[in-house]
A and B are shown apart, each in its own frame.
Chain A
Amino acid sequence: MKITDAEIIAMMQEERSQEKGLRVLMDTYQSRLYWHIRRMIVDHDLAQDVLQDTFIKVYQNFHQFKQESKLYTWLYRIATNEALQQLNKLKRMNRTDEDPEYHLVNMVADNISAEADEIQVLLQKAIQTLPEKQKLVFMMRYYDDLPYEEISNIVDMSVGTLKTNYHYAKQKIETYIKENYQE
């Protein structure tokens, strides 16, 4: 039986059922949030830490959730902020002259499974070459199929800007794949 967002919210708001509510919330959203974070950060251990911190922030700040947006929008927003913070940390810690995007592209090769198609690998590498916000918009639209209005709430950008960003991101990715694909 599928539990609705309203039921999760009700459980999280009640002190007695908060633990159960948190478990249900994690069961429902952990996979989507993990992959959202993982595609941004690439490294599994870091993505795991970020997801863990996301859930901790969720239960600690659940009283601040005003239900003006959908639950998953709020969760995505927290996860995105946590992931961006982690990326900024990595950039600060990276003492080499290596370009951060280039570093992430290299990480993709180290993290892909053996069964992955070449085109899929190129797609992931191409995503890592995008500017941060463009990357976010593209991933939420392409992989999570979120409506532009919801993405607008998560990244604080207008729907028009989001559409433009998505269009440019798609063009860049396709160009990257064409240039690097070996037949």
Chain B
Amino acid sequence: MKHLDIEQLERKNIYKTPEHFFEKIQENVMKDFSENQNQQKPQIGRKTNGNWWYAASFVLLAGAVWVFSSLPSEETNNIVRNNDIQEAINPPTQIQNTPKPETENYIALASDLTIAAEAHQKEKQPATKIKEIPDQRAEITFTGAQQIEQILDVLTAEEIASLAQNTEQDIYLDLYN
């Protein structure tokens, strides 16, 4: 062969091919396509359900946090309220409280001082500390005059004289407070 120009040759496909192989290829591709579509749909569903689960979980969690965070404060409020009532029923400065033997003298003296000061400051501070407590308390507490009478009944004349000196001092201190 001396002269050859492949451009002059006919373009032929010389390889053997089985029959209907394109149909088989299309069938396989469409099968894969359908599987892919079916996989995508449940995935979308799962994704949506997943989002709902996340949202529901978040709401539950937030609710739980809110409940647990609000419970103690309510309890605290209840405790405070109960304490107020307890204080109202049994005020710390009340003479009705039965003092323990070892602190009896101190409590008596402290309450005496307060009461003595009140006696001198009646015009300035007509209301006692007990009166600052809401109306509920006022109903169940004693008035200042009654307290004084009770204390004076217990004290001796000497004790009353020494308290009178303290009273002056209390007034003096009160001026600078």
Interface residues of chain A, those whose CB is within 8 Å of chain B, are 19, 22-23, 26, 30-31, 34-35, 38-39, 42, 44, 48, 51-52, 55-56, 59-60, 111-113, 116-117, 119-121, 123-124, 142-143, 170, 173-174, 177-178, 181, 183
Contacts and interface: CB of A to CB of B under 8 A. Distances in A.
B4 A174 contact: yes
Given A111-B16, A112-B15, A177-B4, A120 B9 contact: yes
B62 to A, nearest CB: 37
B26 A120 contact: no
Interface residues of B, number: 25
B29 interface: yes
20 contacts: A22-B33, A23-B30, A26-B25, A26-B29, A30-B22, A30-B25, A31-B22, A42-B15, A44-B17, A44-B18, A56-B29, A59-B29, A112-B14, A117-B14, A119-B9, A124-B14, A124-B15, A170-B6, A174-B4, A177-B4
Interface of B: 1, 4-7, 9, 11-18, 21-22, 24-26, 28-30, 32-33, 36
A113 B29 contact: no
Contacts of B4: 174, 177-178
Closest 7 CB pairs of A and B: A116-B14, A55-B29, A181-B1, A113-B16, A120-B14, A111-B15, A112-B14
A113 B25 contact: no
A181 B3 CA distance: 12
A143 B7 CA distance: 10
A37 to B, nearest CB: 11
Nearest to B13: A35
A23 B26 CA distance: 7
B25 A55 contact: yes
A34 B22 contact: yes
Nearest to B12: A120
B20 to A, nearest CB: 12
Given A120-B9, A177-B4, A178-B1, A30 B32 contact: no
Nearest to A178: B1
Nearest to A110: B16
A30 B26 contact: yes
Nearest to A115: B14
Nearest to B10: A120
Contacts of B36: 60
Contacts of A35: 13
Contacts of B32: 56
Contacts of A173: 6
